Structure 1
Amino acid sequence: MIRLTFDKTGTGHDDLFLRIGTEPAYLKTADSYYLFDFLEISDEEIKSKNLKGQQLLSFGLIRLLDYWTSRITSIEPGQCTFLPFDLSDEYIGGLLIEARTTDFKLKPVWTDQIHGYAVGQSNLDAQIKNNDLLFKHEVETEWIIDQQTLLGDLELSKKDLSEHLHPH
């Protein structure tokens, strides 16, 4: 199981939550402060959507999940990709995903060679390559998740988030 959500009363700090697995369970909090910068969503686009508060954060997280999905579905067995989540002034953190024959191996990782304020989705891979990054493992635990479950879990997170976009 993997879920991405947010604190409905959050302030931009420690307001994002990433949960993986049940045993062992992993819960990571992060700031949403650089989320829209990373996603390269302009102020004009935000204004045109006329979203506020929870709706805006839901919109950003859905876009992040779409980005993750595109990265996951573009790698072949034996390849790895990085899914950013924790965009901080001092580091970035997220999940290192390795595609295997029928499933994926996930490991929480981080690096202080790239910073949240200086990275965007269009230059992430170039920054990883140009800095010859070696990610540090946040925990020694890893999870094996089949593709259908992983992509289904991301879709469930998107569905939950979309309820904030269009409240009943």
Structure 2
Amino acid sequence: MVHILPSKALSKGRRLLALASLGLAIATLAGCASAPPPDGAMNQALAQLQAARDAGAADYAPVDLDYAQGKFRQAQTAMASRKYDEAAVLADESRADSELARAKARLGAARAQNQTKSQENSRMRVEMIDNHANDTVPIPTNVQETESVLPEPTDNTPPPVGGQTQPLNDHQGGQ
């Protein structure tokens, strides 16, 4: 027994099948489409890497700088392979690691500068103490460090008339 379908029913079934196939094809193509290249994220990561290097991260935060550089190289590899989603994530991680390296470098540089200033202050204190070690007149306790205290003259004789001066006598055994 052969069933003959009316031509109108056949064309409606074909249209549904064609429509379903078209929808499946569009969904498949949409799933295969990838994100656009993350050029902005890559540029930001590169800029942060350079800022970290300029801040001295190679000296003060080498591990964090290495992490950032490694993530950036991985992002470049992902870009070359057209894995843009992966490249964007790696670029963002590189940027974050670079920011951390830069912050640690700035902190390290500030600590080093502070250490240098402290050492200079200590050296100046020792020098000041050494310079005043042979002073015969003690500095009064109520005198500030910025004031100079001169010893009182021991000889009360007036200077000679006519502007001429006489040599001082050496009382410390210089004769």
TM-score higher than 0.5 here?
no
Q: Which structure ranks higher in relative contact order (CA pairs < 8 Å, sequence separation ≥ 6)?
A: 1
Structure-1-length-normalised TM-score: 0.23
> Of the two, which has the highest radius of gyration?
2
Structure-2-length-normalised TM-score: 0.22
